[in-house]
Structure 1
Amino acid sequence: MIAGLIFATEAAEDRGEALAATSPFGGMTLIEYQARLLIGCGAGQLMIAVARVTPALLAAVNRIARRGVAVDVVRSAEEAAAKAHPLASIVVVADSLVTTDQAMRAIAFAQPDTLMVTAEAASPAAVERVDAGHVWAGLAALSATRLKEIAGMPREYDFQSTLLRVVVAGGAAQIQLPAAAKRAGHGVERHAGALASRGNAVLAALANGRTDWPDRFVFTPISRFALPKLAARGLPHWAAPAAAGVLTVAGLAAAWFGSAGAGVFLSLFGIASLSTGSLLSWLRGDDRRALAQEAAIALIAAITVLATGVAASVQDATLTPFVLAAVAVAAAGMGERSGARAAWWWGSPAGYPLILAPFALAGFSWAGLAVIAVYAMVTLGAVVESLRAKA
């Protein structure tokens, strides 16, 4: 069992008495983002270590609790030891730490009594020195036994610092902070302006997690540009799917009235909307809605290809374009259902309309459909060979 221990005691540097943990971050608060990462790693219990409870913190804790995990506010190691499950592996998150999913997973699945460290003492990731060559990077995994050890110490001791010293004295293992986390802005930050900048870096890293070529070269740059702005404005969860639906319907209407090229491009804008919306839903902890939007991308792509095939068949008075569209959709569907790990060049739902678009715009929809049908078949062949190699 994984439990999380998040420290939320320090005040923000530019927000009066407000806690740094409740500073805005990516459309939520920093502590909600930290909790989101822990829940994503399988944490079933979260403990929030505080010195005082503010209304903003209480509201954030209530929102975290709605995600289906037990949340306990603790004021000392003694309270934390009493609340923690005795068999839990406890993931410690330093006060005001901005990190990434990759770094959180690395520490969450490490053995108890492990510290994540960096050799760069001047780095924003450096929280406190642990030995001559390393500083703590703000993440640790420990056993519930360590909390009991600290609980027996005077309450005047700083909880976070004492916990670190006890783990170090116990001969904790060390793992290095991932380089990708450094680039994404991993570090402690209590200034609201700088925190917003760090948040944008983390959001960009989230968008960069998609590696197939349509996302890498087209949709990820769009998401990287739009995501921080949409998150900061608190875009409602229904906005991206609604926009995608309107654009798709408009695209179908355009194809019906003889403008297949415009129809495909409108659908691509809808796919871009869902691509960004799914990342935003993931960031907010709504995995179900994020997965639904990813599935909707495939649905819109299939509808777009089939609608283009129908329009071209009607225009050319032959079934060939529709047959090509059906073959492309069938082959792509089988490839997607295989679950095989995709190579970067394999076809993907968002990629097929992207290839089709210039052909449709030039009035050669049948040629574009032929190209994506061949591409889908080649991808399916690669999928089959990949599965055979693993068998």
Structure 2
Amino acid sequence: MIAGLIFATEAAEDRGEALAATLPFGGMTLIEYQARLLIGCGAAHLMIAVARVTPALLAAVNRIGRRGIAIDVVRSAEEAAAKAHPLASIVVVADSLVTTDQAVRAIAFAQPDTLMVLAEAASPAAVERVDAGHVWAGLAALSATRLKEIAGMPREYDFQSTLLRVVVAGGAAQVQLPAAAKRAGHGVERNAGALASRGNAVLAALANGRTDWPDRFVFTPISRFALPKLAARGVPHWGAPAAAGLLTAGGLVAAWLGSAGAGLVLSLLAIAALSTGSLLSWLRGDDRRALAQERAIAAIAAIAVLATGLAASFVDATATPIVLAVVAVAAAGMTERSGARAGWWWGSPAGYPLILAPFALAGFSWAGLAVIAAYAMITLGAAIETLRLKA
């Protein structure tokens, strides 16, 4: 069982009495983002270590609790030890720490009594010195037994620092902070303006997690540009799906009126909206809606290809285009259903209308359909071979 222990005691540097943990971050508060990362790693119980409870913190805790996870506010190591499950592996997140899912997963699945460290003491990721050559990077995994040890110490000791010292004295293992997390802005931040800038770096890293060539070269740059702006403006969860629905409807109307190229362009804009909306939903902790938008991307791609094939068949007075479209969609669907993944060159749902669009704009939809049908069949063949090798 994984549990989380998040520290939320320090005040913001530029917000008066506000806690740094309640500063805005990515369309939510920093502590909600930290909780989101822990829940994503399988944490079933969260403990929030506080010195005082502000209205903003209480509201954030209530929002976290709506996800159906057990959550407790604790004021001391003694309270934390009493609330923690005796067999839990507890993932500690330092006060005001901005990090990534990659770093949290690395520590969440480590053995208890493990510290995440780095060598540069001057780095923003440095929280406290561990030894002569390393500093703590703000993440740790420990057993409930360690909490009981700390609970037996005087209450006036700083909880977070005491925890670190006890774990170090117990001979904790060390893992290095992932380089990708460091590049993405991992570190402690209590200034609202600097936190917003660091949040943009984390959001950009989130968009970079997709590796298929359509995402890498087309949709990820769009998401990297749009995601911070959408998060900062608090765009509602239905915003991206609604925009995608309108764009898809417009694309179908354009194809029906004989402008297949314009229809594909609108469909690609719909896919871009869902691609960004899916990341925004994930960031806000709504995995169900994020997954639904990912699936909608495949549905829109299939509709766009089939609509283009149907329109081309009417124009050319032959069934060849629609047959090619059906072949492409069927092959792509079987590839996705197989669950096999390999090289970046594989076809993906978003890639097929992207390839087809230039042909349709030039008036050669049938040629584009032939290309994507062949591409989908080659990808399906690669998927089959990958599965055979694993069998």
Taking structure 1 as the reference length, the TM-score comes to 1.00
Question: Tell me, which stretches of 5 or more residues in structure 1 are unaligned?
Answer: none
Alpha-carbon distance, 1:135 to partner? 0.2
- Deviation string 1:184-237 (CA, Å, 9 cap, x unpaired) is 000000000100011000000000000000000000000000000000000000
CA separation in 1, counterparts of 2:121 and 2:371?
A: 54
CA separation in 1, counterparts of 2:190 and 2:268?
A: 39
Q: How large is the Cα RMSD of the aligned pairs?
A: 0.4
| Percent identity of paired positions between Structure 1 and Structure 2 | 90
CA separation in 2, counterparts of 1:215 and 1:202?
A: 17
Task: Provide the residue aligned with 1:280 in structure 2.
Answer: 280
Task: Provide the residue aligned with 1:186 in structure 2.
Answer: 186
CA separation in 1, counterparts of 2:290 and 2:343?
A: 23
CA separation in 1, counterparts of 2:28 and 2:370?
A: 46
Alpha-carbon distance, 1:85 to partner? 0.3
- Deviation string 1:323-355 (CA, Å, 9 cap, x unpaired) is 000000000000001001232000000000000
Secondary structure in 2 matching 1:344: coil
CA separation in 2, counterparts of 1:235 and 1:71?
A: 27
CA separation in 2, counterparts of 1:101 and 1:340?
A: 24
Secondary structure in 2 matching 1:334: helix
Task: Provide the residue aligned with 2:133 in structure 1.
Answer: 133
- Deviation string 1:279-300 (CA, Å, 9 cap, x unpaired) is 0000000000000000000000
- Deviation string 1:30-82 (CA, Å, 9 cap, x unpaired) is 00000000000000000000000000000000000011110100000000000
CA separation in 2, counterparts of 1:86 and 1:66?
A: 25
CA separation in 1, counterparts of 2:82 and 2:337?
A: 46
- Deviation string 1:287-322 (CA, Å, 9 cap, x unpaired) is 000000000000000000000000000000000000
Alpha-carbon distance, 1:382 to partner? 0.4
CA separation in 2, counterparts of 1:376 and 1:29?
A: 43
Task: Provide the residue aligned with 1:143 in structure 2.
Answer: 143
Secondary structure in 1 matching 2:115: strand
Question: Tell me, which stretches of 5 or more residues in structure 2 are unaligned?
Answer: none
CA separation in 1, counterparts of 2:285 and 2:380?
A: 33
CA separation in 2, counterparts of 1:342 and 1:47?
A: 40
Secondary structure in 2 matching 1:39: helix
Task: Provide the residue aligned with 1:79 in structure 2.
Answer: 79
Alpha-carbon distance, 1:155 to partner? 0.3
Secondary structure in 1 matching 2:126: coil
Query: Matches of residues 368-383 of structure 1 in structure 2 within 5 Å?
Result: 368-383=368-383
Query: Matches of residues 47-86 of structure 1 in structure 2 within 5 Å?
Result: 47-86=47-86
Alpha-carbon distance, 1:386 to partner? 0.6
Secondary structure in 1 matching 2:304: helix
CA separation in 1, counterparts of 2:337 and 2:116?
A: 37
- Deviation string 1:253-282 (CA, Å, 9 cap, x unpaired) is 000000000000000000000000000000
Task: Provide the residue aligned with 1:36 in structure 2.
Answer: 36
The farther-off stretch of 340-349 and 367-376 is 340-349
Secondary structure in 2 matching 1:271: helix
CA separation in 1, counterparts of 2:133 and 2:68?
A: 40
Taking structure 2 as the reference length, the TM-score comes to 1.00
CA separation in 2, counterparts of 1:71 and 1:232?
A: 27
Secondary structure in 1 matching 2:139: strand
CA separation in 1, counterparts of 2:282 and 2:13?
A: 29
Give every structure 1 segment of 4 or more consecutive aligned residues whose post-TM-superposition deviation is greater than 6 Å: none
- Deviation string 1:119-168 (CA, Å, 9 cap, x unpaired) is 01000000000100000000000000000000010000000000000000
Secondary structure in 1 matching 2:133: coil
Task: Provide the residue aligned with 2:268 in structure 1.
Answer: 268
Alpha-carbon distance, 1:2 to partner? 0.2
CA separation in 2, counterparts of 1:341 and 1:268?
A: 23
Alpha-carbon distance, 1:388 to partner? 0.7
